[in-house]
Amino acid sequence: MNPRAALPLLSLTSLTLACASPVRDAALERPGQVDQPPRALLARLLAEYDRAPAGPDRDALAHRIDDVAGQRYATWSRLYWHRDLDAAMREARATGKPILSLRMLGRLDRDLSCANSRFFRVALYANRDVSRYLADHFILHWSSERPVPVARIDFGDGRVLERTVGGNSAHYVLDATGRPVDVIPGLYSPALFLDALEQAQPVAARTGSLGDRAFARLVAGYHRDQAQRAADRFASLGPVRIAPAGGESLADAEMRAASKMVVERPLVQTLQLGTQLSLAQARAWDRASDFWSQVGAAIDARVAPGHLDGRSRALLSAIEPADWARAGQALPAAGVARLIAAFEALMRRDTAYNELVLHQQIHARLASGPGLDLAELNRWVYAALFLTPAEDPWLGMATPDTFTGLPRDGIAVSSAF
């Protein structure tokens, strides 16, 4: 079916835009789970899960494991995530391991977290090599930049479509005192994600015992070295174009991540959220996207493969992507294989842009002077790199010059705002 043919149906739909509940770092575990340390409880529950036969009881156990682990699909990743940074720092000091802190929109332990964090759960955390490295070398933590906006389309005939809109995610490598050593922005292929972690981990492990001045010198030198290493490593790819800085609208921010953009852009355009790109801008972005896809393919062939491993592929299939031609039934195996190939291509595109543009800007920023604390660095990442500054409560979705015909433009603000 031609997707454009379905557009008139939207005039019959009920559209709502809401935000998922904010994160509360304390006491996320269920009552009765505090009798054991959470890691020991997680290990016990995973062992119980592995012995359990398939069925509703095992499915319910998987959800309980997610609650304890702090991550959706924790039965695949086997990872434990702190939701309190102070607790993560205490464990980091006790173990000598640095911290990997994920900053995202929404919650890692819920289906409707931001798109990139959902992709991390499949492409990275479920990957056998990545999950083993994370467990062995880092204390894990996540926190929410803000609630994730959720668009819900009710077609009025029993069909409901939900999508998250906007936002991006970053992994912060922190030392045991919570000082940032590096930032890995957005979605990476497993191979280059591991490479970035392997470069930063020894530095973060070492800096935990340093004073601020020595810390700043070491981190600045590390980023100068990493910028040169990237220039040497990717020299065979030829000159790299820096994409236009873009504006402050949701459309501009969406173009920073192709993998999430293909999920969200149709909804953004249909609902006319934020200032839309002009035709010339859209064509320029399409040309830039094609260029970065070519760079991603070259990285895949010459530097590091950009593919999902068997466990990530199995998880993607277990999530049951829909067959849109059959009213949302599960996609057949051949369709899943095509979907995996398409996702891998987008992941390689994002990897190329994130590593050769955004990460290089991070290297330049952190090599240039005194170190930033985590809050300062995070503000800069979301404002300058992801184009979603904290000062914009609408995440680029505001339409101040557009008449909607709705009272108060359809905005409902609770007393808690």
Residue 414's pLDDT is 76
pLDDT in tens, 60-78: 999 999 999 999 999 999 9
Single out the residue of 173, 30, 38, 34 nearest to residue 98, CA to CA.
173
With CA atoms as reference, report the closest residue to 162 among 173, 170, 154.
Answer: 154
Answer yes or no: do 198 and 318 share one domain.
yes
Kindly state whether residues 113 and 36 are assigned to the same domain.
no
Quick: pLDDT tens for 114-156.
999 999 999 999 999 999 999 999 999 999 999 998 888 888 8
Same domain, 65 and 82: no
Tell whether 47 and 105 lie within a shared domain: no
Residue 307 lies in a domain: yes
Is the same domain home to 265 and 360?
Answer: yes
- Cα-Cα-Cα-Cα torsion 380, 262, 248, 112, nearest 10 degrees, comes to -60
Using DSSP bridges, classify how beta strands 14-19 and 149-154 pair: parallel, antiparallel or unpaired.
antiparallel
93 pLDDT more than 70: yes
270 domain-assigned: yes
Domain that holds residue 200: 78-400
Q: Tell whether 289 and 384 lie within a shared domain.
A: yes
- Of 69, 99, 124, the residue at which a domain comes to its end is 69
The answer to whether residue 281 scores a pLDDT higher than 80 is: no
Same domain, 54 and 94: no
**Given CA atoms 369, 374, 377, 381 in this order, what sign does their dihedral have?**
positive
Q: How confident is the model over 222-275, as pLDDT tens digits?
A: 999 999 999 998 887 766 655 544 454 445 545 555 554 444 444 444 444 445
Q: Are residues 33 and 151 both part of a single domain?
A: no
pLDDT band at 328 (very low <50, low <70, confident <90, very high): confident
What is the mean pLDDT of the segment spanning 391-411? 79
pTM for the predicted model, two decimal places: 0.84
State the pLDDT at residue 257.
Answer: 52
CA distance linking residue 285 with residue 147, whole number of Å:
28
Phi, psi (rounded to 5 degrees) for 90: -60, -45
User: Does 30 lie in the same domain as 151?
Assistant: no
Do residues 28 and 70 lie in contact, with contact meaning Cβ atoms separated by under 8 Å? yes
One domain for residues 93 and 214? yes
**DSSP H or E stretch at residue 63:** helix 56-69
Q: Please state, in angstroms and rounded to a whole number, the distance separating the CA atoms of residues 216 and 230.
A: 21
Residue 241 and residue 204 share a domain = yes
Structural domains in the chain (count): 2
